[in-house]
Amino acid sequence: MRRLIAAALSMVFYAGLLPAQEQQSRSPLFDEITEILAQLSELTGWKAPKKVESDTITKEGLKGFLESRMQEMVKPEEIRAEEVALKKLGLVPAAFDLKKMTVDLLTEQAAAFYDYQKKKLFILDTNASITQKPVLVHELAHALADVHVNLEKYILKGKSDDAALARQSVMEGQATWLMSEHLMARMGTSLRKAPEMAEAMNRMTGASGGMFPVFDSSPLYLRESLMFPYTKGFLFQQAVIVKMDKAGFMEVFKNPPQSTQQIIHPEKYFARVQPVKVALPKTDLKGYEDLVEGTLGEFDHDILFRQYGSEADAKWAQKWRGGQFRIYEHKKDKSTVLLYASEWDDADTAKEVFRLYKQVLKGKWKNMTVDSESATEMAGKGDDGPFRVRLDGTRVWSLEGKS
């Protein structure tokens, strides 16, 4: 889903949780672009572009744009593979429609966006009022970064889906930080001088108050995937600026974080703690072909542990060291096999993850029978056929859909 948003849309959204207002088609906010760019230039030390193209767009126009962009850039089989993966991993329900939900969710959430293919900024005409100035600042921050970095190339260079979310968090976190710092400057202070304000501002983000029914009814994974770049990315950027000052704006693009773990724990980014490549379990897959593979990071495990366990269980995700998955599909009957493996800081943590992953299996399937179970292994049958999950030292792995 993260790669679908990054590759298909090729633009950056600000999920503005502010009420819609009916306005004229042309916003008076656009007259402030030059002044705002100058202020952002002073904050970052980056030279501002002379001009940023801007326009308004209706909700109907936005939806059509999204559908067209998705059709242009993502093949139907790629969307299908992403959807199969989310369902197979237990992150979304069986009836989930990835393409429709992505379009509906972003259409509902977008207050503005910067299209970094066309180098043009759009504000939704229903949000084009003076109360939406922070939204404009956010998108102009993207436009400023795009001049110096080329955001399209940056986001598409993520080597895994977890790394892609980390890069997205850099972009959205930096724009959110600059939006907040712009507001603080108008109050005569700075997030550098009042770091406690960063936490306070972050807590204000993400509560929809019932204004967004599509967002509220979406699976936990989608809601968190949408908000993570803004919330965790904002706090990550705060840590970078506190440590590096203005040099931090470019540093996160020159040396991007390699995982969502580095976003959640900036100290791991500064220490260059890299994800571990984990070997997947081996099995006979004659008659099958690769469908999709990826990295399951700290973010993904946090969601799984909360969804099928509890908020308290999510703490174990912090001890993640690496995680991989690969899905194979049978050439004839289209049945699928999931290979999963993860590595953890220590054996005690792996033991807890083994317990939690068994809960994931029980939760994501309607029917499950256990044929054998020990302290280090459980085997049986689920909705997808035979399964085996095993604890091996600091490693947990699972084979699902084939004996």
| Assigned domain for 278 exists | no
Tokens 């049986």 correspond to: 380
Three-state DSSP state, 106: helix
Question: Rounded mean pLDDT of 258-266?
Answer: 97
| Assigned domain for 275 exists | no
| Assigned domain for 50 exists | yes
What's the pLDDT score for residue 24?
Answer: 43
| Assigned domain for 149 exists | yes
Integer Cα distance of 103 and 328 in angstroms:
27
| End position of a domain, from candidates 270, 302, 337 | 270
What's the pLDDT score for residue 73?
Answer: 78
| Residues 107 and 242 placed together within one structural domain of the fold | yes
What's the pLDDT score for residue 302?
Answer: 98
What's the pLDDT score for residue 106?
Answer: 86
- Rounded to the nearest 10 degrees, the angle between the axes of helix 161-186 and helix 133-149 is 130
What's the pLDDT score for residue 238?
Answer: 96
pLDDT at 2 over 60: no
What confidence tier does 133 reach under pLDDT thresholds 50, 70, 90? Answer: confident
| Residues 153 and 233 placed together within one structural domain of the fold | yes
| Residues 236 and 324 placed together within one structural domain of the fold | no
Integer Cα distance of 138 and 172 in angstroms:
8
What's the pLDDT score for residue 14?
Answer: 40
| End position of a domain, from candidates 206, 238, 270 | 270
| Assigned domain for 35 exists | yes
Question: Rounded mean pLDDT of 255-270?
Answer: 97
Three-state DSSP state, 10: coil
Reading the block at residue 291, the tokens are: 């469908």
| Assigned domain for 72 exists | yes
Integer Cα distance of 402 and 286 in angstroms:
11
Q: Where does residue 19 rank: exposed (0-12), middle (13-18), buried (19+ CB within 10 A)?
A: exposed
What's the pLDDT score for residue 13?
Answer: 44
Integer Cα distance of 285 and 269 in angstroms:
38
| Assigned domain for 281 exists | no
DSSP 8-state secondary structure symbol assigned to residue 332 = T
pLDDT at 4 over 70: no
| Residues 94 and 167 placed together within one structural domain of the fold | yes
| Residues 338 and 262 placed together within one structural domain of the fold | no
pLDDT at 85 over 50: yes
Cα angle for residues 8, 292, 304 (degrees, 5° grid): 90
User: Please, what sign has the CA dihedral across residues 377, 378, 383, 384?
Assistant: positive
| Residues 266 and 306 placed together within one structural domain of the fold | no
Question: Rounded mean pLDDT of 113-121?
Answer: 88
Residue 9, number of CB atoms within 10 A of its CB: 22
Helices H, strands E: what count in the chain? 16, 11
pTM value surpassing 0.85: yes
pLDDT at 130 over 70: no
Question: Rounded mean pLDDT of 179-205?
Answer: 85
- The DSSP secondary structure of 66-77, one letter per residue, reads HHHHHHHHS-HH
Tokens 């990054």 correspond to: 6
Question: Rounded mean pLDDT of 196-212?
Answer: 72
Question: Rounded mean pLDDT of 272-284?
Answer: 95
| Residues 265 and 325 placed together within one structural domain of the fold | no
| Residues 250 and 298 placed together within one structural domain of the fold | no
DSSP 8-state secondary structure symbol assigned to residue 211 = S
| Residues 262 and 322 placed together within one structural domain of the fold | no
pLDDT at 18 over 80: no
Integer Cα distance of 22 and 30 in angstroms:
17
| Assigned domain for 255 exists | yes
What's the pLDDT score for residue 68?
Answer: 85
| Residues 240 and 327 placed together within one structural domain of the fold | no
Residue 333, domain CATH: 3.40.1000.70
Pairing of strands 110-115, 288-295: unpaired
User: Lowest mean pLDDT: which of 96-110, 137-151, 169-183, 361-375?
Assistant: 96-110
Return the exposure string of 100-139: e unless at least 16 CB atoms fall within 10 Å of the residue's CB, then b: ebbbbbbbbbbbbbbbbeeeebbbbbbbbbeebbbbbbbb
Question: Rounded mean pLDDT of 156-164?
Answer: 83
Who has greater pLDDT, 323 or 128? 323
| Residues 125 and 28 placed together within one structural domain of the fold | yes
| Residues 293 and 237 placed together within one structural domain of the fold | no
Question: Rounded mean pLDDT of 119-135?
Answer: 75
What's the pLDDT score for residue 155?
Answer: 86
Amino acid residing at 235: L
Reading the block at residue 283, the tokens are: 């099995």
pLDDT at 5 over 50: yes
pLDDT at 9 over 80: no
Tell me the pLDDT of the chain averaged across its residues: 89
Who has greater pLDDT, 382 or 129? 382
Total number of domains in the chain = 2
Question: Rounded mean pLDDT of 351-371?
Answer: 97
What confidence tier does 7 reach under pLDDT thresholds 50, 70, 90? Answer: very low
Tokens 């700075």 correspond to: 190
Range of the domain at 81: 2-270
Three-state DSSP state, 293: strand
| End position of a domain, from candidates 237, 270, 303 | 270
